């Protein structure tokens, strides 16, 4: 049944919210700003407002207006820096997910959402509001919204692909946005450790490989090194489109000619980076945005040959369990698509998955090893030991597939920082991970 498609103000839209409602803000650059500010102005007369979100790129007005969490419960499926700080203040909470499964969660397990508010590009001449750099699970949100509100933003790039927008016939209300520029994610400068890890990974990338690039300095450093290499005909099938992928494309290394799925196209579900990334994807026929259950599900990923999945982790124990989303009981990011791409890459013909990390980190002035006998108490296992393939630090690269527990321990110790290897070896023997007399 056709909806209203009425133009109203942000304050009028916020007035639709009642206590005890579930709202959904979508994700990343698609989160609303004008509506958020209007709702913040009404919080004093509301209670038990529950909002789902993902990867906030700007401060959320409703949280800033409710510093004690007395009116709003904020649930995020993946933390950015802002969500993490609010979690530390006990007013933001994590919702555990595999990112690629979220559309199915909404369709099968989550009750219809009272109000969904999505930031979009202004309506085009065919009546569509483009989702811009945040396709993700927006199609499922449209289907499950009791009330759907779009917040128009003239700065939103329009992307090409599948299910990249919503028609006015599906929209209840349209509100004007503040038209501010898209939030940017600082690229940062690659460290010597990043470059050392990237060199080891780049040496494993073959002509015709199909890349998934995760967030962070190390994966982007891989793009930089590949741009300077002789590798040819790279493809892209990734969750996140990054600045590094744009740089790699401009070097001429990406053609997508050898891909089995969407040949010639760079496939992703969302983009986050610098303004030049947003300019690059705007109307670009070579970049295809798809729902996240297409980009992230292992049975789809594996249909491309030579998939190379490149992601970060923060801690690995000597059996190969990787904790990539928490620091003990402190949640810092999310499962995202990491474990799904690890599995999809392995199942791909000639595929490889890489999990990279610096060998050490500093905490309260003390240097500590990221390779440990046992994970920090409370740490969440993001990638199971049975899933890990290549693990990379600045000291080397090892393949854990088909290795015994003792072999895994020895291999991981070999790429730990030299200052910690003796201690790790001693603890591995003490815990019987390496049997007595084993060489």
- The three-state (H, E, C) secondary structure of the chain, written as one string: CCCCCEECCHHHHHCCCCCCCEEECCCHHHCCCHHHHHHHCCHHHCCCEEEEECCCCCCCHHHHCCCCCCCEEEEECCCCHHHHHHHHCCCEEECCCCHHHHHHHHHHCCCCEEEEEEEECCCCCCCEEECCCECCCHHHHHHHEEEEEEEECCCCCCCEECCCEEEHHHCCEEEECCCCCCCCCCCCCCCHHHHHHHHHHHCCCCCCCEEEECCCHHHHHHHHHHHCCCCCCEEEECCEECHHHHHHHHCCCECCCCCCCCCCCEEECEECCCHHHHHHHCCCCCEEECCHHHHCCHHHHCCCCCEEEEEECCEEECCCCEECCEECCEECCCCCCHHHHHHHHHHCCCCEEEEECCCEEEECCEEEECEECCCCCCCCCCECCCCCCEEEECCEEEECCCCCHHHHHHHHHHCCCHHHHHHHHHHHHHCCCCCCCCC
Radius of gyration of the chain (CA): 23
Taking residues 210-227, what's their average pLDDT? 87
pLDDT > 70? residue 1: no
For residue 316, CA distances in Å to 96, 358, 373, 422 come to 20, 11, 8, 17
pLDDT > 90? residue 147: yes
pLDDT category at 436 given cuts 50, 70, 90 is confident
Which CATH superfamily hosts domain 6-176? Glutaconate Coenzyme A-transferase (3.40.1080.10)
Q: Is 427 a catalytic residue?
A: no
pLDDT in tens, 68-117: 999 999 999 999 999 999 999 999 999 999 999 999 999 999 999 999 99
Q: What residue ranges do the domains of the chain occupy?
A: 6-176, 192-430
Given this chain, do its domains 6-176 and 192-430 carry the same CATH topology? yes
Domain 192-430 belongs in CATH node 1.10.3720.10:
no
Please tell me the predicted confidence (pLDDT) of residue 262. Answer: 98
pLDDT in tens, 395-431: 999 999 999 999 999 999 999 999 999 999 999 999 9
Query: Which residue in 101, 151, 170, 239 is the catalytic one?
Result: 239
pLDDT category at 438 given cuts 50, 70, 90 is low
Lowest mean pLDDT among 215-229, 237-251, 331-345: 215-229
Q: For tokens 């994590």, what's the residue?
A: 94
Taking residues 224-228, what's their average pLDDT? 89
This prediction has a pTM of: 0.96
Please tell me the predicted confidence (pLDDT) of residue 306. Answer: 98
Lowest mean pLDDT among 140-149, 208-217, 280-289, 398-407: 208-217
Please tell me the predicted confidence (pLDDT) of residue 326. Answer: 95
Please tell me the predicted confidence (pLDDT) of residue 4. Answer: 80
| Alpha carbon 392 to its chain's center | 20
pLDDT in tens, 252-304: 999 999 999 999 999 999 999 999 999 999 999 999 999 999 999 999 999 99
């Amino acid at each position: 049944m056709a909806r209203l498609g009425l133009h109203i103000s942000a304050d009028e839209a916020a007035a639709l919210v009642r206590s005890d409602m579930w709202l959904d803000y979508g994700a990343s650059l698609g989160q609303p700003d004008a509506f958020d500010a209007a709702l913040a102005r009404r919080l004093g007369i509301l209670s038990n407002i529950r909002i789902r979100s993902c990867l906030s790129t700007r401060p959320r007005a409703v949280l800033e207006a409710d510093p004690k969490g007395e009116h709003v419960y904020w649930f995020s499926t993946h933390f950015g820096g802002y969500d993490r700080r609010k979690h530390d203040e006990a007013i933001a909470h994590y919702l555990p997910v595999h990112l690629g499964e979220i559309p199915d969660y909404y369709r099968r397990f989550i009750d219809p959402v009272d109000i969904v508010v999505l930031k979009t590009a202004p309506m085009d001449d065919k009546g569509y509001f483009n989702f811009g750099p945040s396709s993700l699970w927006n199609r499922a949100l449209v289907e499950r919204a009791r009330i759907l509100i779009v917040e128009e933003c003239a700065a939103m790039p329009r992307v090409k692909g599948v299910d990249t927008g919503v028609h006015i016939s599906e929209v209840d209300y349209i509100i004007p946005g503040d038209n501010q520029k898209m939030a940017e994610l600082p690229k940062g400068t690659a460290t010597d450790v990043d470059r050392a890890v990237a060199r080891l990974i780049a040496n494993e990338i073959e002509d015709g490989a199909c890349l998934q690039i995760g967030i962070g300095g190390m994966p982007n450093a891989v793009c930089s090194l590949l741009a300077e290499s002789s590798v040819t005909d790279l493809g892209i099938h990734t969750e996140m489109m990054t600045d590094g992928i744009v740089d790699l494309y401009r070097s001429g290394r990406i053609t997508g000619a050898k891909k089995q799925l969407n040949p010639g196209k760079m496939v992703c579900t969302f983009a986050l980076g610098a303004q030049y990334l947003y300019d690059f994807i705007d109307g670009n026929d070579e970049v295809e945005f798809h729902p996240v259950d297409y980009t992230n599900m292992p049975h789809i990923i594996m249909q491309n040959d030579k998939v190379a999945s490149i992601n970060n982790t923060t801690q690995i124990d000597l059996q190969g369990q990787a904790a990539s989303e928490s620091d003990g009981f402190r949640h810092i990011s999310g499962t995202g698509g990491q474990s799904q791409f690890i599995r999809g890459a392995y199942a791909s013909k000639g595929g490889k998955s890489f999990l990279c990390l610096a060998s050490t980190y500093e905490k309260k002035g003390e240097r500590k090893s990221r390779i440990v006998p046992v994970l920090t108490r409370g740490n969440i296992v993001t990638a199971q030991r049975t899933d890990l393939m290549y693990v990379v630090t600045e000291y080397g690269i090892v393949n854990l597939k088909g290795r015994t527990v003792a072999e895994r321990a020895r291999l991981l110790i070999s790429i730990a920082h030299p200052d910690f290897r003796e201690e790790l070896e001693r603890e591995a023997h003490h815990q019987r991970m390496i049997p007595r007399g084993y060489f």
